[in-house]
Structure 1
Amino acid sequence: MGAVAIVDLAAGPEFGYLPLLALGPAFAALHYGARRIVLIGLIAFVLCIVLAAYDNVLGHRQDNLTLASIIGVTSASALAGARRQQRERELATVRTVAEVAQRVLPRPVPRSAGPLLIAVNYTSAAAEARIGGDLYEVVITPFGVRILIGDVQGKGLGAVETAAGVLGAFREAAYDEADLPGVVNRLEKSLSRTLSGEKFVTAALAQFGDDHVTLVDCGHPPPLILGRDGDLRLVEPEEPSPPLGMTDLADAPPRPYQVPFSPGDQMLFYTDGVIEARDDAGTFYPLLDRAGVLRSSEAEQALRDLEADLVRHTGGPIADDAAMLLVRRR
């Protein structure tokens, strides 16, 4: 509006820039509430009267139409601004409820289990629908500590419902089945009754022994081992397996594999929201190069440091949910 006033004063009355003053309240509707829009409209109205008097067109038919236009645009913009703010408040409430549901769905994991120290970090996405299907669980069973981390394909309430079903089936099977393939089989049977179409769930299961860990990977990103001696490596299976919900398509069921896990070692489980986070140039987050931030003496602080480093890489909120679970052997 200031620019319009300056141009009008410089150009003179014959060019008729006064109708452009209505752009003020129109653009204000994009950012402000009804009160501020009305205030901006009032400023535009007064400014139009002052400029019309300066141009000697005050009271003319064209000037009256300009004033009427400013009143009409201000009224419509105030109504639009009020409705936009109401929708923003509703969306904020939905986001909060969705994020709480996402965090409450997995139960709090034990911070320690025998010689193991356990920490979890969950980072919500910046998308409009923050609720997703990332899941994790830690269960202390007669067979040892068993861990599940997974990611349901898709977003929304359907993904959360599937995640809840996977967690419920795992909590039962982890106590009943003597080995991880039996747990995977129970999960597959449970999903066969609920999944439809080409839906699937990537998952990694682990069972910790005295000096080793047994893993089963069902299409999930491989866990990362940080050795006490500084060695960093991804623990990938020799034969990749399809995700849960699609294991029937494979020639053989997922096979477990073992890796050493000695005192002082730590293992990081994560979802694809971590390794698929991109910076402005489109570069994926280099987890292996940044894993050194996990050297903090406290497991929870180590995951907070990794989360902060992940956010620095993306330059802002991440585009997908990211769950991280860190296990340390004392």
Structure 2
Amino acid sequence: MSVASRTGWLWLTALVGAGIAVGDIATGPATSLIGLLLVCPLLASTQDGWRVTAIVSGAATLLAVVISLVERALGQGDTQVRLLMLVVAGAYGTWFAHRSAGLQQQLEKVAAAAQRAIIRPTDFRIGGLEVSARYHSAAAQAHIGGDLYAFANTPMGLRLLIGDVRGKGLAPVHLSAAAIGHFRDAAYTQPDLLDVVRELESRLACDLGPEDFVTAVIAEVDPHHVRLVNCGHHAPLHLPDTGTPTLLAPPAPTTPIGLAPEPTVQEVPLAAGDRLLFYTDGLAEARDRTGCMPDLQLIGRLCTGARLDGALDTVMAALNHHTRHSAAGDDIALILLEPVHDLARNPSLPQDASGPRQEPTAGDSDAPWAVGP
């Protein structure tokens, strides 16, 4: 739950308590409503942490005591019973909030571990291509998203998938794993990229709910060409060795996987020194405190470093700097690849050789890469 939502809920709890207090005083000593104040800690426990719930419980009890003193009813037996009920309700609400927070943290840790097992940062070289990929989880904001990527070294060339499952929580983790598994099966068995999409659509039908979908780009890359299909996902960024970065937007937009997409195949030639950047909306739609999003053209310039892994680390550091004063709440998946025509100059790296990498920090970078919302 966002900070604004928690604040609104806390104000609602305060208004309920104030309404009960005003009603009790208005009806006079003959009618006591202080027992209804137990609603306050119970409301707080459903949305706020245990510390806030404890504060609300103490405030509600103190308010009940003040009302009893005003009405000169503190020494009456029924008033003391109501106060005792209020204390018990506050203690229960605080315990419930603490227990719920603990369970939520455990679920988030399990989901984050599962996500890291499914998708981990990697660097490798294969088939005349050098590839680097990064995944950054938004677990620090208590959200586990459904960003995903996968690779398959097939007879047709290196095939890759990058996508984003709709929604947050544990369900996208399951759908990410299912999409990756189905993609790898289809990538090896289907000769045409459109058939890969159809196979994914068919196999995911049993896993997707009525409102679920997966935006995705599926690409087939060799050192001289890239062929890709785009199903409702952000267009990859082509970074030529000489020239202006270009978004590889599809000829016509189509729906995501799960919503009967009808994509077309794009083919783009690659030259020595060209690079391709695939990304999810965690990068494209990241906002700073003023609501500005990154400029993809400037992001492209950050991807021109001597090494792919260093270029992606630079992008991640700049993104952390860009969003450091805002509530970043989405995962980020990045793939950067480049044809390697001179293998003698660049010794081969085994697949997944680098393993997980430490997340970079923003440092003092002040890259002016933001554009208006």
Given the two structures, how large is their TM-score scaled by the length of structure 1? 0.71
> Does 2:230 align with 1:217?
yes
Aligned match of 2:214: 201
Question: Is the 2:119–2:135 Cα contact (8 Å) retained in structure 1?
Answer: no
> Does 2:324 align with 1:311?
no
Q: 1: CA distance between counterparts of 2:229 and 2:165? A: 17
How far residue 226 of structure 1 moved from its aligned partner, in angstroms, is 1.1
How far residue 84 of structure 1 moved from its aligned partner, in angstroms, is 6.2
Per-residue CA shift, 1:270-311, capped at 9, x if unaligned? Answer: 111111111111111222223211122221121111011111
Question: Is the 2:50–2:95 Cα contact (8 Å) retained in structure 1?
Answer: no
Aligned match of 2:336: 326
Q: 2: CA distance between counterparts of 1:109 and 1:166? A: 19
Classify 1:294/1:107 alpha carbon distance in 2 versus 1 (closer, same or farther; 3 Å).
Answer: closer
Aligned match of 2:308: 299
Aligned match of 2:270: 261
Instruction: For 2:197, give the aligned amino acid.
Output: V
How far residue 209 of structure 1 moved from its aligned partner, in angstroms, is 2.7
Instruction: For 1:285, give the aligned amino acid.
Output: P
Alignment partner of 1:120 out of 125, 133, 155: 133
Question: Is the 1:266–1:328 Cα contact (8 Å) retained in structure 2?
Answer: yes
Instruction: For 2:209, give the aligned amino acid.
Output: S
Alignment partner of 1:106 out of 119, 139, 143: 119
Alignment partner of 1:231 out of 220, 244, 250: 244
For structure 1, the residue ranges without an aligned partner over 5 or more in a row are 1-29, 38-71
Instruction: For 1:322, give the aligned amino acid.
Output: I
How far residue 151 of structure 1 moved from its aligned partner, in angstroms, is 0.6
Runs in 1 of length 4+ with deviation above 6 angstroms? Answer: 30-33, 74-86
Per-residue CA shift, 1:169-227, capped at 9, x if unaligned? Answer: 11111011111011011001112222231321100010013411001000000001111
Classify 1:239/1:83 alpha carbon distance in 2 versus 1 (closer, same or farther; 3 Å).
Answer: closer
> Does 2:279 align with 1:270?
yes
Q: 2: CA distance between counterparts of 1:146 and 1:263? A: 19
Classify 1:317/1:265 alpha carbon distance in 2 versus 1 (closer, same or farther; 3 Å).
Answer: farther
Question: Is the 2:224–2:269 Cα contact (8 Å) retained in structure 1?
Answer: yes
Instruction: For 2:250, give the aligned amino acid.
Output: P
Q: 2: CA distance between counterparts of 1:89 and 1:291? A: 41
Aligned match of 1:286: 295
For structure 2, the residue ranges without an aligned partner over 5 or more in a row are 1-48, 56-83, 341-373
How far residue 90 of structure 1 moved from its aligned partner, in angstroms, is 4.7
Q: 1: CA distance between counterparts of 2:227 and 2:99? A: 52
Question: Is the 2:127–2:222 Cα contact (8 Å) retained in structure 1?
Answer: no
**Structure 2 counterparts to residues 61-76 of structure 1, below 5 A:** none
**Structure 2 counterparts to residues 141-220 of structure 1, below 5 A:** 141-220=154-233
Q: 2: CA distance between counterparts of 1:301 and 1:79? A: 52
Q: 2: CA distance between counterparts of 1:109 and 1:305? A: 16
Of the structure 1 ranges 279-288 and 262-271, higher mean CA displacement relative to structure 2 is found in 279-288
Instruction: For 2:315, give the aligned amino acid.
Output: L
Classify 1:107/1:174 alpha carbon distance in 2 versus 1 (closer, same or farther; 3 Å).
Answer: farther
Per-residue CA shift, 1:71-97, capped at 9, x if unaligned? Answer: x9x999999888766655554443332
Of the two, which has the highest radius of gyration?
1
Aligned match of 1:131: 144
Q: 2: CA distance between counterparts of 1:82 and 1:247? A: 47
Question: Is the 2:120–2:134 Cα contact (8 Å) retained in structure 1?
Answer: no
RMSD: 3.3
Question: Is the 1:109–1:138 Cα contact (8 Å) retained in structure 2?
Answer: no
Classify 1:301/1:89 alpha carbon distance in 2 versus 1 (closer, same or farther; 3 Å).
Answer: farther
Question: Is the 1:119–1:300 Cα contact (8 Å) retained in structure 2?
Answer: yes
Question: Is the 2:284–2:296 Cα contact (8 Å) retained in structure 1?
Answer: yes
Aligned match of 2:78: none
Of the structure 1 ranges 148-157 and 117-126, higher mean CA displacement relative to structure 2 is found in 117-126
Percent identical pairs in the alignment equals 40
Given the two structures, how large is their TM-score scaled by the length of structure 2? 0.63
Q: 1: CA distance between counterparts of 2:120 and 2:319? A: 25
